[in-house]
Structure 1
Amino acid sequence: MPPDDGRQLTTPQAHYPYPKEVWTPSGGWWTRPKNWASNTIVAVVGIGLATYGVWRVSARNEQRHIAPTKPIPSARWSPQAAALGVRKE
């Protein structure tokens, strides 16, 4: 315990003073927009759609010149896997 020097412990204030002229892309100090949940859903759906699009392009353009020596996940969806004899159809 620290020595008692006569000061009382007080609870911290809700917000300390901060500069009002600072701009931040995230909204600044203690931001909590009312529509944060819908913004989060929109962002997650957007990221999911972008990921799906990149995955589709990657799967369509994947080429293997030699059959892999061990099972790989992309053999399940690659159209070339059946031609190489990796996947049985």
Structure 2
Amino acid sequence: MGGGARYPYPKEVWTPSGGWWTRPSNWKSNTAIAFAGILAVTYSVWTLSAAREWRYIQPSKPIPSMLWAKQYKEKKPELEKELH
């Protein structure tokens, strides 16, 4: 199932993926850094989106984005009347 033993390959061939059987010694830290970067970007986009979200037509029932949207965090009394 392993595909056989590793065979000799030409050392002068360059590939952007690193060539045959690459396994960088720091792959775990590279993966952690990339994951942290993805989380940071996701958090910043989420925060910006929640701050700018505004619904001009109020939903007839509660929706998930009401938990984090700035419009509903302020708890305006007229919105409470409309939703209930």
TM-score bracket, shorter-length normalisation: 0.7 to 0.9
Contact 2:52 2:70 in 1 (8 A): no
* TM value normalised by structure 2: 0.73
Contact 2:54 2:71 in 1 (8 A): yes
**Deviation per residue, 1:15-54 (Å, 9 max, x gap):** 3635743321x32221100000110110010000000000
In 2, distance between residues paired with 1:50 and 1:69?
A: 32
Matched residues, percent identical?
45
Give the match for residue 59 of structure 2: 68
Higher relative contact order (CA 8 A, sep 6+): 2
- Structure 1 residues 64 and 12, CA gap change in structure 2 (3 angstroms): same
**Deviation per residue, 1:36-86 (Å, 9 max, x gap):** 011011001000000000000000000100111222111011121233337
Larger Rg: 1
In 1, distance between residues paired with 2:8 and 2:63?
A: 55
- Structure 1 residues 68 and 23, CA gap change in structure 2 (3 angstroms): same
* TM value normalised by structure 1: 0.69
Q: Which structure 2 residues correspond to residues 37-52 of structure 1 after superposition, within 5 A?
A: 37-52=28-43
